[in-house]
Amino acid sequence: MKLKALMFITCTSLLIGCSSTLPQLGLVDGMLISCPDSPNCVNSQISTNDDSNIEPIMFDGTVDNAQARILEVLNSEGKSKVIEVKSNYVYAEYISSVFRFVDDIEFYILEGGSGRTVIHVRSASRTGRSDFGVNRDRVERIRVKLSQQPR
């Protein structure tokens, strides 16, 4: 009985610690903040290592259309919560089902010319060192959804 109680307290403490504080997010000099050196982040603008590089998302349409579509996609995913929306920026959180880990995802939306929009993206885990590719997979899933017509 004491062992179970100790395990429960330890796990609860770890999980509470995993919620962590909000990292520095947003834009600095027109750029998304770079990824840390840990392999649990991807960024299409600034990367400190090759593992965190990811291609920006190209969208056929205006900045406003792209932002509206990003919000539709995020709202269609049950684990996301949109936190902030500005004229060319969207920030959302994803919360994992089991351990309630929080990942942050940001979109910086820019006019790309010729009727196209460039969507820069940064997706990162708040805690831990590895994310088993979850952030990269999330961005690639969103990339596919953004290329599809809304239903």
3-state secondary structure string, 39-106? CCEEECCCCCCHHHECCCEEEECCHHHHHHHHHHHHHHCCCEEEEEEECCEEEEEEECCCCCCEEEEE
Q: How confident is the model at residue 15 (pLDDT cuts 50, 70, 90)?
A: very low
Q: Which of 56, 50, 66 is nearest to 123 (CA)?
A: 56
- Average of per-residue pLDDT across 107-114: 94
113 φψ region: left (φ > 0), alpha (ψ -120 to 50), beta (else): left
Taking the whole predicted model, whether its pTM rises above 0.75 is answered as yes
Asked: is 2-147 a CATH 2.40.50.140 domain? The reply is: no
What are the residues facing 123 on neighbouring strands?
A: 42, 105
Mean pLDDT of the chain: 85
C-alpha dist (Å) from residue 86 to 23, 33, 63, 89, 94: 19, 17, 12, 5, 19
Per DSSP, 115 falls in state T
Q: Which of 10-14, 60-64, 135-139 has the lowest mean pLDDT?
A: 10-14
Q: How confident is the model at residue 151 (pLDDT cuts 50, 70, 90)?
A: low
Q: Which of 79-83, 89-93, 112-116 has the lowest mean pLDDT?
A: 112-116
Residue 49 pLDDT greater than 80, yes or no: no
Q: In whole angstroms, how large is the CA radius of gyration of the chain?
A: 17
Q: Does 111 or 50 have the greater pLDDT score?
A: 111
- Spell out the domain ranges in the chain: 2-147
Q: How confident is the model at residue 1 (pLDDT cuts 50, 70, 90)?
A: low
- Average of per-residue pLDDT across 77-97: 93
Q: How confident is the model at residue 70 (pLDDT cuts 50, 70, 90)?
A: very high
C-alpha to C-alpha distance for 23 and 125, rounded to whole angstroms: 10
Task: Write down the pLDDT at residue 124.
Answer: 92
Q: How confident is the model at residue 47 (pLDDT cuts 50, 70, 90)?
A: low
